[in-house]
Chains A and B, each alone.
Chain A
């Protein structure tokens, strides 16, 4: 009963300064949207690592990724207990047109790589065409769309790791089995690269960047990893084997300082809007000092006046918050398409929405605190006499 009155009165109060209420609502909505977007950016970054089958391991040189491994390791890895299949890939790192047109290129073992990546869907004809052309390449659907690559196109790449000017012919365009598959890869023949660099860069011939290992039992990942690594211990090139997910998380850990900064900044925007909202409420309360004194004179208790202020503040902040949450979804979609292929998936997590709601609540409560306290302190006589 009483709560209903408070709410109705608070709602009426909100409408007294329409411009100010509108501006405050807009401010809160903007803040809640940016808070949600920033959190989603960080989430999506980590979400990229969650992709990929858990049943795969990555074996690379223990010294660091910039060191390669001899391709002969493939046979020894295959013999390790629990291993079903092995393939390998080297980072090609060529430049297409210029450095701004970056996309990842891998030199892979054409005969085995696609078998280990069943989520890359490629028609049998295209697959055969790729196998038969040493200069052939298989391109992900999104990457092909981005640069307009079509079957039969020649793609020139300037080598960085592998010197020289290279050109590859697009022989296949793969689709992802689901929307969590990376459709931005550019795969070329490791054999072709290897043959070519035997002349130009013999030190890097017969060497690969990493082995991808398919294991029979995903639960045995730790044991198989340990078995592989121990068989190369104290050799010229020691290995580090980890699940594909851990491997990708390793990349993310490299830039975790930046992610931490983004997360921190996401909370700063809440602080900013807290100040704006607190200002709005302080103004409203100051203007109504006389009204509050009148209410008290009529016999309403201090608590009622405080509830009135809190009610107005909360309805304003929650309305702005709700608006912000609703706008987060279209904003996230727009952001995702604007950044094109930076993120594989870009989804607003339920936790983010919950945090947005909590932020709106916090903004509302904290903005009401100061006016609530001062309204309690105001004497009826002083309040009635107040000039605003």
Chain B
């Protein structure tokens, strides 16, 4: 049976020196907080862009152009795509295909500090039906053929602060905000939507930016892709809409992740040292106690385990505290530029079970790293010397 020292012995040792425990744990908790926040940021960004669009829609852009804003597709190419097999029809027999115009428009920030690059998407009634996640929550949808626009809910908060009834000026026109739509924290939430034809006119363009086509079912992607490949004059790249936007979050999410992890590792050195100081002191103060335990018959291994458990418990408590504080960061919404698309994206920090587990494990590991040397020192004490110490 288990002959080690009981867990309550470990727990009480931590409780005996409250101030020291609290100070050490709060240092570690701060590291955990930073770590968790960074992971939540990267996750929030991934989730926002990764949750944009739907699996059965295909985005078609000019070969090699990478983003919708950089892409151009001629009217002929658009008409050709409409004839390809594998596409779905709407209930009323209309093809589920939307010809979209995407431009980046500078809009002033509310804080007066510079300009943000906002995506303005010219879309169609079919296009809006193809994105059922975007629901009008205030006002109404824009009327096709008019200078009306609606804005994503994220743009009404934060740095841009657009509101219903605002008048925006771009493309030598005044556009009236007649609606606000909520696309469930997806990337569409950071966009301005208007009529595709009107955008073509306003920006004097004679080409679309992208086409979005609805697939008949999940399996028709291969058919459609093969059909596209058979048309040499098309020269397009196609991707499922969901993957298309998810890929656009990778660079920034990775950057945040790498930067954050580097910072966290360096910071954790400080916290590990803190834990080490505490655990060494704990060993020094209890030399006679350790000697007594050994004299009672507890083995060196038992002593190591007791001190390691104490350090792990310290890390665990700190991890929980840091995680608790970090959970409030879910209320924070960040508005920044996605370096990959050069456009403003608004996202909320997201705490997932995976992050919580990772952060807690990290915190316990910090404790172990801080506790392992002191624990070994404790186990090496000779019984006689330890009992004799003052």
Interfacial residues, chain A to chain B (CB-CB below 8 A)? 19-20, 23-24, 26-27, 30-31, 34, 38, 62-67, 93, 95, 99, 158-161, 163-164, 201, 203-204, 234, 236, 238, 240, 249-250, 253-258, 261-262, 265, 268-269, 271-273, 275-276, 278-280, 282-283, 370, 388
Indicate if B192 sits at the interface (CB-CB under 8 A).
Answer: no
Cross-chain pairs A/B with CB under 8 angstroms, 27 sampled: A23-B273, A24-B277, A63-B106, A64-B104, A64-B105, A66-B69, A66-B104, A160-B66, A160-B70, A164-B64, A201-B72, A203-B72, A204-B72, A249-B114, A250-B114, A254-B117, A256-B113, A268-B30, A268-B33, A268-B267, A269-B266, A269-B267, A275-B274, A276-B273, A276-B274, A279-B23, A282-B20
Least Cβ distance of A81 to chain B in Å?
26
Least Cβ distance of A289 to chain B in Å?
13
Least Cβ distance of A280 to chain B in Å?
6
Q: Are A283 and B277 in contact (CB under 8 A)?
A: yes
Do A279 and B69 form a contact, CB below 8 Å, given A258-B336, A273-B270?
no
Question: Chain B contacts of A99 at CB under 8 A?
Answer: 251
Indicate if B146 sits at the interface (CB-CB under 8 A).
Answer: no
Determine which of A23, A273, A275 lies in contact with B276 in the assembled complex, contact meaning CB atoms within 8 Å.
Answer: A23
Determine which of B31, B172, B256 lies in contact with A236 in the assembled complex, contact meaning CB atoms within 8 Å.
Answer: B172
Q: Using a CB-CB cutoff of 8 Å, which residues 26-76 of chain B contact chain A? A: 26-27, 30-31, 33-34, 41, 62-66, 69-70, 72
Best-surrounded residue of B66, B104, B259, B277 (most CB of chain A within 10 A): B277
Do A282 and B19 form a contact, CB below 8 Å, given A34-B263, A64-B103, A64-B104?
yes
Determine which of B24, B34, B171, B172 lies in contact with A275 in the assembled complex, contact meaning CB atoms within 8 Å.
Answer: B24
Inter-chain CA distance A139–B213, complex, in Å, is: 42
Q: Are B266 and A271 in contact (CB under 8 A)?
A: no
Best-surrounded residue of A93, A254, A256, A265 (most CB of chain B within 10 A): A254
Question: Chain A contacts of B204 at CB under 8 A?
Answer: 236
Question: Chain B contacts of A258 at CB under 8 A?
Answer: 256, 336
Inter-chain CA distance A254–B65, complex, in Å, is: 22
Q: Are A272 and B23 in contact (CB under 8 A)?
A: no
Q: Are A279 and B20 in contact (CB under 8 A)?
A: yes
Least Cβ distance of A148 to chain B in Å?
25
Question: Chain A contacts of B207 at CB under 8 A?
Answer: 203
Inter-chain CA distance A240–B31, complex, in Å, is: 44
Please give 11 more A-B residue pairs, beta carbons under 8 A apart, in addition to A64-B103, A163-B235.
Answer: A19-B280, A20-B281, A34-B263, A67-B103, A95-B64, A203-B206, A250-B114, A253-B115, A256-B113, A261-B41, A279-B24
Question: Chain B contacts of A370 at CB under 8 A?
Answer: 19
Least Cβ distance of B35 to chain A in Å?
11
For B27, the closest partner residue in chain A by CB is A275
Inter-chain CA distance A158–B34, complex, in Å, is: 39
Q: Are B23 and A275 in contact (CB under 8 A)?
A: yes
Inter-chain CA distance A204–B266, complex, in Å, is: 48
Q: Are B274 and A253 in contact (CB under 8 A)?
A: no
Question: Chain B contacts of A93 at CB under 8 A?
Answer: 70
For B267, the closest partner residue in chain A by CB is A269
Question: Chain B contacts of A238 at CB under 8 A?
Answer: 172
Inter-chain CA distance A23–B276, complex, in Å, is: 8
Least Cβ distance of B209 to chain A in Å?
11
Q: Are A160 and B64 in contact (CB under 8 A)?
A: yes
Question: Chain B contacts of A158 at CB under 8 A?
Answer: 64
Q: Are A163 and B62 in contact (CB under 8 A)?
A: yes
Do A255 and B337 form a contact, CB below 8 Å, given A66-B342, A272-B30?
yes
Question: Chain B contacts of A271 at CB under 8 A?
Answer: 30
Inter-chain CA distance A159–B20, complex, in Å, is: 60
Question: Chain B contacts of A63 at CB under 8 A?
Answer: 103-106, 170-171, 203
Indicate if B131 sits at the interface (CB-CB under 8 A).
Answer: no
Inter-chain CA distance A235–B251, complex, in Å, is: 37
Question: Chain B contacts of A26 at CB under 8 A?
Answer: 273
Question: Chain B contacts of A234 at CB under 8 A?
Answer: 172
Q: Are B337 and A66 in contact (CB under 8 A)?
A: no
Do A275 and B26 form a contact, CB below 8 Å, given A30-B269, A38-B263, A203-B207?
yes
Closest 6 CB pairs of A and B: A253-B114, A276-B274, A275-B27, A254-B337, A279-B23, A27-B273
Determine which of A30, A64, A279 lies in contact with B27 in the assembled complex, contact meaning CB atoms within 8 Å.
Answer: A279
Determine which of A24, A34, A65, A276 lies in contact with B271 in the assembled complex, contact meaning CB atoms within 8 Å.
Answer: A276
Inter-chain CA distance A19–B30, complex, in Å, is: 24
Indicate if B363 sits at the interface (CB-CB under 8 A).
Answer: no
Determine which of B26, B172, B336 lies in contact with A255 in the assembled complex, contact meaning CB atoms within 8 Å.
Answer: B336
Inter-chain CA distance A74–B276, complex, in Å, is: 67
Best-surrounded residue of A63, A253, A256, A273 (most CB of chain B within 10 A): A63
Inter-chain CA distance A350–B158, complex, in Å, is: 35
Indicate if B334 sits at the interface (CB-CB under 8 A).
Answer: yes
Do A20 and B280 form a contact, CB below 8 Å, given A201-B72, A236-B204, A271-B30?
yes
Least Cβ distance of A66 to chain B in Å?
4
Least Cβ distance of A145 to chain B in Å?
24
Least Cβ distance of A324 to chain B in Å?
11
For A276, the closest partner residue in chain B by CB is B274
Q: Are A278 and B23 in contact (CB under 8 A)?
A: yes
Q: Are B273 and A250 in contact (CB under 8 A)?
A: no
Inter-chain CA distance A99–B247, complex, in Å, is: 13
Question: Chain A contacts of B63 at CB under 8 A?
Answer: 163
